[in-house]
Amino acid sequence: MSIRFALNRTCAPQLPLDAFIALATSVGVQAVEIRNDIEGREFADGTPARDVLARLQDAGLEVASVNALQRFNDWSPTRAKEAEAIIAYAAALGAPGVVMCPVHNEDHGWTNAEAEKNLRDGLRQLRPILQAHGVTGYVEPLGMKGSTMKRQDMAVAAVTDIDGWDAYQLCYDTFQYFRCGDTQLYPERIGLAHMSGIARADLAPGDLVEPDRGLIFVGDRVGNIAQLRALQAAGYQGFVSMEPFSPEVQNDPDLAAHLRASLEYVSTLLRTA
């Protein structure tokens, strides 16, 4: 079973939309993830979803997600308004889902009990908005020290508790899984996967940060190939989106060639599993 690759906008946030689309088609992916948090780019700059969709369709690309609704578990009238705008945009764009990220700053001040309560409250509040627009919420555990939802099992328990699997799936991120030492896999609950590689060897997993995330080559510490093989063996058929945050990747003058080489490296190893 072949993996379907996508490209997250984090690969090249500096590029105008048409150039990003050209990059995606040149490296052979089937879909892209549109970001709502890049200043001066689509969504944030007010580009209508129908215009973005038309350009993607002309290039033969699908939309893997809109990424992301931040702090979804810190519910407020402001968050509700933000969620409505992002989810409505995703629906107009034909995106199957919106990635949803938890509060992840170390000074949030919540007890464990408060974090559990807030997680479930956010999921309950979002569910009718998602359902009204026919969009799935891709709940993404983030593995950094200050995260209020680090592991896959935390997300699964919360969605199960609110009886919300009609509105939610997991977003599985190979780096987050590695960073927090997660060990549990719920392939039947995963709707979207992210991948990125770590080359630097001077930090423990828990001390790594987003700008450390690059492309995947020999020497990758995250174990992307093993993780993706496990997903593949379990029958996962969704998109796997390359999501680097490294400035070196984003500003690479040979980005297309290096992206293509990384995707081919991953694809070759998965085919020979």
pLDDT per position as a tens digit, 80-136: 999 999 999 999 999 999 999 999 987 888 999 999 999 999 999 999 999 999 999
- Sign of the Cα torsion 258, 261, 265, 270 reads positive
Tokens of 244: 């680097």
The Cα angle at residue 253 between residues 247 and 254, in degrees rounded to 5: 105
CB 71 within 8 A of CB 103: yes
What is the fold of 4-271? TIM Barrel (3.20.20)
CB 210 within 8 A of CB 197: no
Predicted pLDDT at 273: 67
Amino acid at 45: D
CB 186 within 8 A of CB 152: yes
How far, in Å, CA of 55 to CA of 210, rounded? 29
| β-pairing verdict for 62-69 and 168-173 | unpaired
CB 169 within 8 A of CB 142: no
Q: How is the chain split into domains, by residue range?
A: 4-271
Confidence band, pLDDT 50/70/90 cuts, at residue 3: confident
Q: What is the pLDDT of residues 164-210, one digit of tens each?
A: 999 999 999 999 999 999 999 999 999 999 999 999 999 999 999 99
Q: What is the pLDDT of residues 32-59, one digit of tens each?
A: 999 999 999 998 899 999 999 999 999 9
